[in-house]
Structure 1
Amino acid sequence: MTNPFGFEGKRVVVTGGFSGVGAALVEVLAEQGAEHITVLDLKEPTGSAHTFIRTDLSDAASVDAAVDAIDGPVHALFNNAGVASTLPAPAVFAINYLSLRRLTEALVAKGALPEGAAIVNTASIAGISWPAHLEAIKQLIAIEDWDAAQKWLASNELGSDAYSYSKELVQVYTMYYARTAAAKGLRINSVCPSPIDTPLLPDFRKTISDKVIDWNISQGNGRLATGRDVALALAFLGAEASGFLNGVNINLDGGFNAGLTVGNLDFSGLA
C-alpha cells in the first residue's frame, strides 16, 4: 500500500527553502521520499532540493518568471517564505501575501497542479486578529492586481502591524480560496505557528519585543517551536493523509490559542 503520509513519486515546490522552516521542510520531504523538490528563494539552499529557482518574492515579475520556470506536475505547493516587519511594509505584504497568492493562482491557471494536489501556506498565530478586520480584508482580497493591492494597503488603516496583518491575510485567503480549490479537485490549508527558533527570531524580538515573545512561549508549552516541528505539520497538510482537509488554519502553538479561547492564560507576564 502507498504510504498516505509519504511523498513517493511526488513533485513539490517550496518557497523560502534556504533556511529555517523551509530548509527543515525540504529535509522532511526528502525523508518522505519526494521525487523532486524545487525551491524558490533569493539564496540557493544547500540541502536536499533538486532544483533551485532564484526568485525575488517581493517582485511580481520575478514571481511570474518562476512560474514559467517550474516544471509540472506540482503535487504539493508549499508557500512558506516570510519576513518580519524589520523590512518596509510593502516588502512584507509582497513576500508574505501577494507573492503567495500570485504564485498559487498562476500555477493553478497554468494547469501545473493536478487533481488531488495540495496548497499549503505558512501563516502565523500573529494573524489571530483577522475576525476584527474581516470586511476590510475581503475588500483587499477582491483586488487581484498586485500594484492596486499595494496601493490599497498603503491607503487604509490596517489596525495591525504589517507582519501581523499579512498573516491575517494569509489565514483569510486560505479560507477564501478553499471553494475555488475544491472545484478544481485541489485543497488549501495553512499552519499558524507560535514563535519559532529560526534565524528570523531576532527580527521578531526587535519588532514584537522580548516581553511579548517570551510571554507567548510561557503560555504555550514552555518552549519555542523548532523548524522541524513546523515542517512536519506542513508536510502532513501536503500529504494524502490530510486529503479531506480544506480551508483550515491549524494553530501550531503548544496550546496558546486554546488557553486564549477559554480564558485561562496568565496575562501578568505582560504587565
Structure 2
Amino acid sequence: MTDYFGYAGKTVVVTGAASGMGRALTEILVDLGADVHALDRVESPVAGVATSIIADLGDKASIDAAFAELPTRIDAFFGVAGISGVHNSFLETVTVNFIANKYVTDTYLVDRVAQGGSITFVTSNGGVRWETPAIREELVPFARGDWDDVVRVATELEAEFGSIPGSLGYILSKRLLNYWVAEQVAPLADLRKIRINAVLPAMTVSGMLPEFAEMKGGRDVVEAEVGPAGRLAESVDMARVLAFLGSDLAGYVSGVHLSVDYGMNGLEVAGLRPDRLSWTLRSVLARQAA
C-alpha cells in the first residue's frame, strides 16, 4: 500500500499532546508511523510516542528547556496547545496562544524544520475576520519584534484601557496567529520550502469546552449554535484535518486558514448568518470604558 501521508519514520512535534485535539492527533501520527515528540503541561498518555516532554508555553525558559530535549531536525510541527482565557489574564492568554508560538517558530523552527517540512497551528473560528483592514491594522504592532516586544504592546494596551478580560485576549490571540501565519508563508517558502497553515476549529468537545460553556452561559447555549452539522465537533474531527495539512498529501498547500466548522463561517461570509466577529478590539474596549 502506498504511504500517501508520508509520516512513516518522520520526526514530528505536537504541543498540547496530552488531551483533546493534540492527543487525538498524536494517536493518529503514531499509528501512521511517525516518531512523535509530545509536549504538554503533563505527560502524554499516548502509547508509542518517542518522547513526552513537560513544558509550560507561558514560560520562555520552559520552552527553551523543552527544545533542548527535542531533535535538531523536525519534519512536521503542530502547535495545538492553547488556553481559553476564561480563567486567565489577558496577557497570559495572549502569551500562550500567540507569543509562545511566534517565539518557537522564530527561535527554533526556522532552523530545525526540514526542507519541504510543515508547520501547522490550531487557531480558532473565533479569530476570523483577521484579514479585514480595520482589524488587521490593530494586529500589526503585536506581530512585530520578539517576546518582550509583544508583551510590551499588550501591557501598554491594558495601561490605556485598564484590565482586559482574558476572553478578549483569546479572540485577539487567535486573530494574531491567523495574521502571522499569513505573513510567514513567503519567508518560510524562501527559506526551505516550508509550508505553514492554520486550522480554525468550531466549538469542539475537548478540555476547554466547560470554560467556553461557562463564558457563553451554559452548555445548552453552546449546543444551540452547532449550525448545519447538528452536533459539536469532536477532537478527532480536528485531528484528521491537522494530520492532512502536515502530510505529503498537502504538499502544495500553504497559507491556508481552514475553518473546520461544517460551513458556519461560510454562511456568515455569504450573509446567511449574522457576522458576530467583525468588530475591532479597540472599539469594544472603548465602549466598555465609556
Same fold (TM over 0.5): yes
Q: What TM-score, normalized to structure 1? A: 0.91
Tell me whether 245-254 or 87-96 shows the greater mean CA deviation.
87-96
Give the whole-Å Cα distance in 2 for the aligned partners of 1:93 and 1:212: 26
Give the whole-Å Cα distance in 2 for the aligned partners of 1:207 and 1:266: 20
Contact 1:41 1:54 in 2 (8 A): yes
Letter in 2 for 1:55: A
Please tell me the root mean square deviation across aligned C-alpha atoms, in Å: 2.0
Q: Deviations over 1:96-117 (max 9, x none)?
A: 11111111222234x3111011
Q: Deviations over 1:25-65 (max 9, x none)?
A: 1001112121x111111100111322012111001111122
Contact 1:25 1:232 in 2 (8 A): yes
Tell me whether 116-125 or 6-15 shows the greater mean CA deviation.
6-15
Q: Aligned pairs, how many? A: 263
Give the whole-Å Cα distance in 1 for the aligned partners of 2:115 and 2:6: 17
Seen in structure 2, the aligned counterparts of structure 1 residues 266 and 99 have a Cα distance that, compared at 3 Å, is: closer
What SS does the corresponding residue of 1:136 show, helix, strand or coil?
helix
Give the whole-Å Cα distance in 2 for the aligned partners of 1:29 and 1:91: 30
Give the whole-Å Cα distance in 1 for the aligned partners of 2:153 and 2:188: 26
What SS does the corresponding residue of 1:39 show, helix, strand or coil?
strand
Q: Deviations over 1:52-107 (max 9, x none)?
A: 12111001111122222211321100000011112112211111111111112222
Offset at residue 147 of structure 1 (A):
2.2
Give the whole-Å Cα distance in 1 for the aligned partners of 2:255 and 2:137: 18
Offset at residue 266 of structure 1 (A):
7.2
Q: What are structure 2's unaligned runs of at least 5 residues?
A: 276-290
Which residue of the partner structure matches residue 169 of structure 1? 176
Runs of 4+ aligned structure 1 residues displaced above 3 Å come to 157-160, 208-212
Q: Deviations over 1:141-178 (max 9, x none)?
A: 11x22122112112226898111111101111110111
Tell me whether 148-157 or 112-121 shows the greater mean CA deviation.
148-157
Identity %: 31
Q: Does 1:129 align with 2:136?
A: no
Which residue of the partner structure matches residue 143 of structure 2? 141
Give the whole-Å Cα distance in 2 for the aligned partners of 1:244 and 1:225: 27
Give the whole-Å Cα distance in 2 for the aligned partners of 1:51 and 1:138: 36
Q: Deviations over 1:201-222 (max 9, x none)?
A: 00111223337633431x2411
Give the whole-Å Cα distance in 2 for the aligned partners of 1:260 and 1:19: 30
Letter in 2 for 1:37: V
What SS does the corresponding residue of 1:116 show, helix, strand or coil?
strand
Which residue of the partner structure matches residue 190 of structure 1? 198
